[in-house]
């Protein structure tokens, strides 16, 4: 077949979490579609192509069972209208809707734990979000080095072999899209086995400058960078991350770079750093907002927080990750109430926090600190039985969307955040002239900063002042800004995120 | 007078600690010359010029008394052979040796405390050495902002006014050399008052990349950068710091830069970032080494550590600053002894640590952690009454020089260190083929890394391996490397550091 477009090439995707996951209930095996913009966008692409396969890890015991039955082969899953595994004995013949091929890679559990729970999190996550204090942590001993070799590197090799196997099964030439910080070593392995691939690796979290990477052992950071440089394109959310990546190639590997063109010369190849801000699916959000479940939540929230009177609602929706900066956010709220006592009893702060990685001590400690500051402020500022902070440790998307739609201020004060999709979700569904209060170091600030109130995440007083500015902003101005932010997000949705990457890969591949 | 060289211009120096300090004993007022390479080099320059004045702070109560008597005027101090204050009634007539004019600036003690003990240390020190963990510290409240305005900014203005006053008193055209992180706002103030100055600011500590600076409030970091950009040349120890500075001007101020030329365009001016590695005075070190006091210490140390048998001595000499990474250094030593039990009883580690900033909680905590790891290792590995670690909390330069001269391995494993002169001192005075074990993130590594064993400061196993490589290196190889390092330092001494800066300023000034 003559390829006249990069999408005429077979497509091989890789991410740690796949597009579907299997489980088991009383009726037998069940299939769940993954949630989130990334999975939706890539699954939509894969479903519409003639020949696509998604390589991923086993998220459940049933995933592992399915993978074992498949004996290393890809499975065909029909995703609509009702997701189900297609019986391989009948093949494509019985498929009557969108489908996707999935190859689940199962690795040794000890190796996977070293890969996922030692190196991906916390080490790489902490380095890339700048969370190490350095005077005491991190330290790398033989244990961490062995976890790298036997865990991160070994698991990356297993996934790379699966990807290369799928590429070879398609004649050795394919478009390969790798995702995120779990797989920095994959591109190089795949390219070595399949030199004709068109390969892109997208990094979904921040990429800090060279100094930050110096906390990693020299050989390991060099291998991570060299691994990524097996790609044709390394994608990031923002220009800042892409620049930092190019500077790393210069300072840590001594490679020739062009900082303006964002290119790196690796032997006779040119690797391009690019930025594509990930986004949301506005139509899906609109549909969720219109659902009965969300409508019911909206009524309840309006009642609880007295929003039909002249009360106001601040909102945050985050994982309980130290990078999200929840504690300083509440401290700034406390300063706001202290300096503007007229707001006590009039402004509530709803925090929907999803507990995360509670097996990591830093995360468990952080939850305790959140509880402490909330208790302190609620003890100080409760008025007429109304607590200033309503802290809920839940993951409930319909509840979150309901809150998005009616908040007066959304607080995103992350220390560092690759993108932060909550800001974009609020821009799309808010109906109350909600003001985005956005950290300058969240990726979303590069696109939405001009419509937002900027937060400086370490500057408690500045955040308190910014909250005050947001709460007292004239309603007309609030609606004007919100409309502009919504327009920006709708025009740059997740489909655009993918289309821009494909357009660049088209050029790289010479189409 | 026609100026045919930049050194024909009057010279105005500024540093927090001056070239002399006053005290009082039973005989009355005493004068002490400051120690250290920087003061010696700059004082030597000032003494040899026709018209030079050094603006500095009051380090002692007697300094403040002297300043008050002088009523804002500069004082003349004869520095050799016997330092003394020249009675202003007689003026230059009675001076019969090298002399220097000193203007001591006295500021409000509260403002000075905010300037020195809040902003200079710990905030700027921590930011520039990458010591903040960010999940909980730093936080900026109204208190820190007020300390900046009323402390750092106010004190900078007072010093800038004194500098500008001295420049105006010399006809408005002078060479101005500003020193270090205490005075980032001075250059801009001085240039505004005296646009004809030729102005350089030298930063003696690391300069991190833009992301690290983002922990500071936006307005404050912009003022610090803008302040520095009042200079013609901003000097650093290494190319890496100079690049980081240029990147900051681009990313935090949006100014046009040329990263290869290391220049920044500020309106119609060009500001140059340059790097001049500071160094030591080899002749002074040679003289110290030959002194009776050092000779006596050498005999004692050789005896204590059994160096005339086949025993070996590792050494570190540092302040107890978390950036020096003392704890991980000992942890790596522990791994060395664990993995090479034949070294137990054969290798000692002498640590001469100078307690520092013990009023800052992080520093006090760090001393406790040092004590804990030393006690643990000495409990585990003491053999035949010989403890593996000899920890001494002292500041004793002759003892340090004695140890420099006879150590087998010098350990410099700093997390970040502007230069680290200890490495250069050891290179000059060591007589035992001492191996430099140098952190890749110490400034000295840029010059001496090729003769050293490189340490990766977070990588305990790598440091243990590097210590082993250093201890077992053939003696001939050790002497070859040491000789090369000594030659590098002797050829690039502190006089060269100053001469290179003056050569660049000559070009800037158009001579």
Would you state the structure tokens that stand for residue A487, as one six-digit string?
Answer: 């327009």
Phi-psi region of B138 (alpha: psi -120 to 50; beta: other; left: phi over 0): beta
Phi, psi of A22, rounded to the nearest 5 degrees: -105, 150
CA distance B308 to B406: 11
Out of B139, B142, B459, closest to residue A458 by CB: B139
B5 touches chain A (CB under 8 A): no
What tens digit of pLDDT does each residue of B211-241 get?
A: 999 999 999 999 999 999 999 999 999 999 9
B306 touches chain A (CB under 8 A): no
What tens digit of pLDDT does each residue of B39-75 get?
A: 877 888 888 888 899 999 998 899 999 999 988 899 9
Out of B211, B218, B325, closest to residue A209 by CB: B211
Percent of chain A with pLDDT over 90: 82
Residue A397 has what pLDDT?
94
Q: Find chain B residues with C-beta within 8 A of A145's C-beta.
A: 461
Stretch A325-330: mean pLDDT, rounded?
Answer: 97
Residue B148 has what pLDDT?
98
Query: Measured between CA atoms, how close is B251 to chain A, in angstroms?
Result: 8
Residues shown for chain A: 511
Q: Find chain A residues with C-beta within 8 A of B132's C-beta.
A: 133
What tens digit of pLDDT does each residue of B433-480 get?
A: 999 999 999 999 999 999 999 999 999 999 999 999 999 999 999 999
Query: Measured between CA atoms, how close is A85 to chain B, in angstroms?
Result: 44
Stretch B247-260: mean pLDDT, rounded?
Answer: 97
A322 touches chain B (CB under 8 A): yes
CB contact under 8 A, A240 and B251: yes
Q: Edge to edge, what strands does the sheet with A99-105 contain?
A: A84-85, A75-78, A99-105, A52-57, A11-14, A175-179, A198-202, A233-236, A269-275, A263-266, A257-258
Q: Which CATH class is domain B282-492?
A: alpha beta
Chain A from 344 to 363: CB within 8 A of any B CB: 362
CA distance A231 to A190: 9
CATH entry, B1-108+157-279, from 3.30.70.1230, 3.40.630.30, 3.40.50.2000, 3.40.640.10? 3.40.50.2000
Q: Find chain B residues with C-beta within 8 A of A414's C-beta.
A: none
A327 touches chain B (CB under 8 A): yes
Query: Measured between CA atoms, how close is B270 to chain A, in angstroms?
Result: 20
Out of A135, A216, A458, closest to residue B322 by CB: A135
CB contact under 8 A, B458 and A366: no
Give chain B's mean pLDDT: 94
3-class DSSP state for residue A23? Answer: strand
CB contact under 8 A, A440 and B214: yes
At residue B37, does pLDDT exceed 70?
A: no
What tens digit of pLDDT does each residue of A22-41 get?
A: 999 998 888 988 776 678 77
Residue B2 has what pLDDT?
64
At residue A111, does pLDDT exceed 60?
A: yes
Residue A2 has what pLDDT?
64
* Between B13 and B46, residue with greater pLDDT: B13
B128 touches chain A (CB under 8 A): no
B136 touches chain A (CB under 8 A): yes
Domain A282-490: CATH superfamily, name plus number: Glycogen Phosphorylase B; (3.40.50.2000)
Q: Find chain B residues with C-beta within 8 A of A132's C-beta.
A: 133
Q: Find chain A residues with C-beta within 8 A of B217's C-beta.
A: 456, 458-459, 462
Chain A from 275 to 304: CB within 8 A of any B CB: none
Mutation choice for B interface testing from A134, A236, A369 by most B CBs within 10 A: A134
Query: Measured between CA atoms, how close is B470 to chain A, in angstroms?
Result: 19
Going from N- to C-terminal start, the domains of chain B cover: 1-108+157-279, 282-492
Q: How confident is the model at residue B1 (pLDDT cuts 50, 70, 90)?
A: low
CB contact under 8 A, A456 and B244: no
Other residues' Cβ atoms within 10 Å of the Cβ of residue A172: 14
Lowest mean pLDDT among A59-68, A438-447, B78-87, B215-224: B78-87
Report ipTM for this prediction: 0.90
B98 touches chain A (CB under 8 A): no
What tens digit of pLDDT does each residue of A254-280 get?
A: 999 999 999 999 999 999 999 999 999
Q: Find chain B residues with C-beta within 8 A of A137's C-beta.
A: 133
Q: How confident is the model at residue B404 (pLDDT cuts 50, 70, 90)?
A: very high
3-class DSSP state for residue B289? Answer: helix
Residue A120 has what pLDDT?
95
What tens digit of pLDDT does each residue of B161-197 get?
A: 999 999 999 999 999 999 999 999 999 999 999 999 9
Lowest mean pLDDT among A93-97, B327-331, B336-340, B493-497: A93-97
pTM: 0.93
Q: Find chain B residues with C-beta within 8 A of A323's C-beta.
A: 135
What tens digit of pLDDT does each residue of B340-399 get?
A: 999 999 999 999 999 988 888 889 999 999 999 999 999 999 999 999 999 999 999 999
CB contact at 8 A, B357 and B488: no
Domains B1-108+157-279 and B282-492 are alike in CATH topology: yes
Q: Find chain A residues with C-beta within 8 A of B139's C-beta.
A: 328, 331, 458-460
Domain A109-278+495-508 has CATH 1.25.40.10: no
Query: Measured between CA atoms, how close is B353 to chain A, in angstroms?
Result: 17
CB contact under 8 A, B141 and A460: yes
What tens digit of pLDDT does each residue of A436-492 get?
A: 999 999 999 999 999 999 999 999 999 999 999 999 999 999 999 999 999 999 999
A245 touches chain B (CB under 8 A): no
CA distance B398 to B486: 20
Distances (CA, A) of A232 to A144, A167, A481: 30, 16, 38
Out of B322, B456, B461, closest to residue A142 by CB: B461
Residue A53 has what pLDDT?
95
Residue B136 has what pLDDT?
84
Q: How confident is the model at residue A309 (pLDDT cuts 50, 70, 90)?
A: confident
Mutation choice for B interface testing from A135, A213, A249, A442 by most B CBs within 10 A: A135
For A129, nearest residue in chain B (alpha carbons):
B134
Residue A479 has what pLDDT?
98
Q: Find chain B residues with C-beta within 8 A of A217's C-beta.
A: 456, 458-459, 462
CA distance A368 to A359: 13
3-class DSSP state for residue B395? Answer: coil
Helix (H) / strand (E) containing A392:
strand A389-392
CB contact under 8 A, A441 and B240: no
Q: What is the DSSP string of A256-292?
A: -EETTTTEEEETTEEEEEEE------HHHHHHHHHSH
Q: What is the DSSP string of B332-371?
A: HHHHHHHH-GGGTTTEEEEEEEE---TTSHHHHHHHHHHH
Other residues' Cβ atoms within 10 Å of the Cβ of residue A344: 17
B369 touches chain A (CB under 8 A): yes
Residue A37 has what pLDDT?
67
Q: Find chain A residues with C-beta within 8 A of B131's C-beta.
A: 133-135
| Alpha helix (H) residue ranges in B214-315 | 218-228, 239-253, 282-289, 292-304
- Determine the Cα angle at A90 with ends A85 and A91, to 5°: 70
């Amino acid at each position: 077949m003559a390829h006249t477009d990069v999408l005429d090439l077979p497509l091989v995707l890789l991410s740690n979490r796949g597009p579907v996951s299997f489980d088991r209930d009383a009726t037998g095996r069940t299939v769940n579609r993954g949630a989130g913009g990334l999975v939706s966008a890539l699954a939509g692409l894969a479903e519409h192509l003639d020949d696509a396969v998604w390589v991923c890890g086993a998220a459940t015991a049933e995933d592992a069972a399915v993978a074992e039955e498949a004996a290393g082969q890809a499975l065909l899953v029909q995703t609509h209208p009702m997701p189900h595994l297609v019986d391989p004995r009948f093949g494509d013949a019985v498929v009557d809707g969108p489908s996707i091929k999935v190859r689940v890679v199962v690795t040794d559990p000890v190796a996977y734990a070293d890969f996922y729970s030692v190196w991906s999190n916390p080490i790489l996550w902490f380095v890339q979000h700048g969370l190490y204090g350095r005077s005491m942590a991190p330290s790398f001993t033989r244990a961490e080095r062995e976890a790298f070799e036997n865990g991160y590197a070994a698991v990356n090799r297993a996934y790379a072999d699966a990807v290369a196997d799928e590429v070879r099964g398609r004649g050795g030439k394919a478009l390969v899209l790798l995702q995120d910080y779990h797989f920095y070593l994959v591109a190089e392995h795949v390219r070595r086995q399949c030199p004709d691939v068109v390969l892109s690796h997208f990094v979904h979290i921040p990429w800090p400058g060279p100094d930050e990477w110096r906390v990693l052992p020299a050989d390991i950071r060099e291998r991570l960078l060299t691994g990524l440089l097996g790609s044709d394109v390394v994608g990031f959310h923002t220009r800042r991350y892409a620049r930092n990546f190019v500077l790393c190639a210069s300072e840590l590997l001594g490679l020739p770079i062009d900082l303006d063109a964002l290119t790196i010369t690796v032997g006779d190849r040119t690797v391009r750093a690019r930025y594509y801000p990930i986004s949301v699916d506005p139509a899906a959000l609109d549909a969720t907002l219109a659902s009965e479940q969300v409508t019911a939540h909206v009524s309840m929230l309006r009642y609880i927080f007295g929003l039909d009177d002249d009360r106001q609602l601040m909102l945050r929706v985050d994982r309980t990750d130290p990078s999200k900066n929840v504690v300083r956010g509440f401290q700034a709220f406390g300063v706001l109430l202290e300096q503007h006592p007229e707001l006590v009893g009039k402004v509530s702060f709803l925090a929907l926090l999803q507990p995360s990685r509670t097996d990591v001590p830093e995360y468990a400690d952080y939850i305790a600190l959140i509880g402490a500051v909330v208790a302190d402020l609620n003890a100080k500022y409760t008025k007429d039985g109304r607590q200033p902070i309503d802290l809920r440790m839940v993951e409930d998307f319909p509840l979150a969307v309901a809150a998005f739609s009616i908040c007066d201020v959304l607080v995103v004060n992350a220390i560092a955040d690759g993108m932060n999709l909550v800001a974009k979700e609020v821009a799309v569904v808010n109906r109350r002239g909600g003001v985005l209060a956005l950290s300058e170091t969240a990726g979303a600030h590069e696109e939405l900063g001009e419509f937002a109130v900027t937060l400086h995440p370490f500057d408690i007083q500045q955040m308190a002042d910014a909250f005050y500015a947001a709460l007292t902003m004239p309603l007309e101005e609030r609606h004007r800004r919100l409309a502009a932010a919504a327009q920006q997000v709708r025009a740059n949705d997740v489909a655009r995120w993918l289309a821009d990457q494909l357009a660049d890969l088209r050029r790289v591949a010479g189409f």
